[in-house]
């Protein structure tokens, strides 16, 4: 298990201990997560890894931010808050050294049910199977989905294979009345590229 995947399994209180140390974490542990994150931002800027003694506190803080964004998107229409969607995907995918394919499962109001890493690949590619995507959407009773995958190369431009896959997935999901709202490519620290904004969906 990698450090990042291990971090994702830890409770919020343990993440705070990694970031701030035992004493400081105990003082703020019962505050709301949004307030805690504002305190963390004041403690050190998340955008600059060089300000941290090690990557452990940065990774833990990013995990807390991802959880906060997950909670935010579960209570509002994801299509009205594209910035939060992009930030969640960037927090989850930007620093990975291998490709992953993520499905954001949404209810009928486009609120986030769950964000699932469905496939994991190599440095340059991930095998994605439409049948498994359809099964996942049905198992969560999703009304819509948003796809995302990362490009560890740092180049966010979609390939012909990316475009073809998105069309195939959209067609497969249409058969079970699940809408595909967007597909994002995450590459480095830049804002994720949106297929919908590019007119590719």
pLDDT tens-digit series, residues 12-41:
667 667 666 677 666 666 666 556 656 665
Domain range annotation of the chain: 3-73, 78-198
Q: What angle do CA 5, 11, 13 make, to 5 degrees?
A: 130
CB-based contacts of 189, cutoff 8 Å, min separation 6: 47, 90, 94
Locate 44 and state its tokens: 């050190």
pLDDT tens-digit series, residues 33-74:
556 656 665 655 544 444 444 445 656 666 777 777 788 888
Per-residue model confidence (pLDDT) at position 87: 87
| Separation in Å, CA 5 to CA 79, 93, 105, 117, 178 | 28, 12, 20, 11, 29
CB-based contacts of 176, cutoff 8 Å, min separation 6: 134, 137, 138
Look at domain 78-198 and name its CATH class: alpha beta
């Amino acid at each position: 298990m990698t450090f990042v995947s291990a971090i994702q399994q830890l409770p919020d209180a343990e993440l705070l201990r990694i970031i701030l140390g035992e004493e400081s974490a105990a003082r703020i542990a019962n505050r709301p997560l949004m307030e805690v994150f504002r305190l963390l931002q004041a403690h050190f800027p998340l955008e600059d890894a060089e300000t941290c003694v090690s990557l452990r506190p940065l990774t833990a803080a990013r995990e807390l931010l991802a959880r906060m964004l997950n909670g935010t998107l579960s209570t509002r229409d994801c299509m009205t808050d594209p910035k939060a969607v992009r930030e969640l995907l960037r927090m989850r995918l930007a620093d990975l050294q291998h490709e992953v394919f993520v499905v954001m499962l949404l209810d009928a109001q486009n609120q986030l049910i769950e964000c699932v890493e469905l496939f994991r690949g190599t440095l340059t590619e991930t095998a994605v199977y439409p049948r498994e995507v359809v099964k996942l959407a049905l198992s969560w009773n999703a009304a819509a989905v948003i796809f995302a995958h990362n490009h560890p190369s740092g180049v966010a431009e979609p390939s012909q294979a990316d475009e073809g896959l998105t069309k195939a997935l959209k067609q497969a999901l249409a058969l079970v009345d699940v809408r595909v709202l967007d597909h994002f490519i995450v590459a480095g620290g830049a804002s994720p590229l949106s297929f919908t904004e590019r007119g590719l969906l």
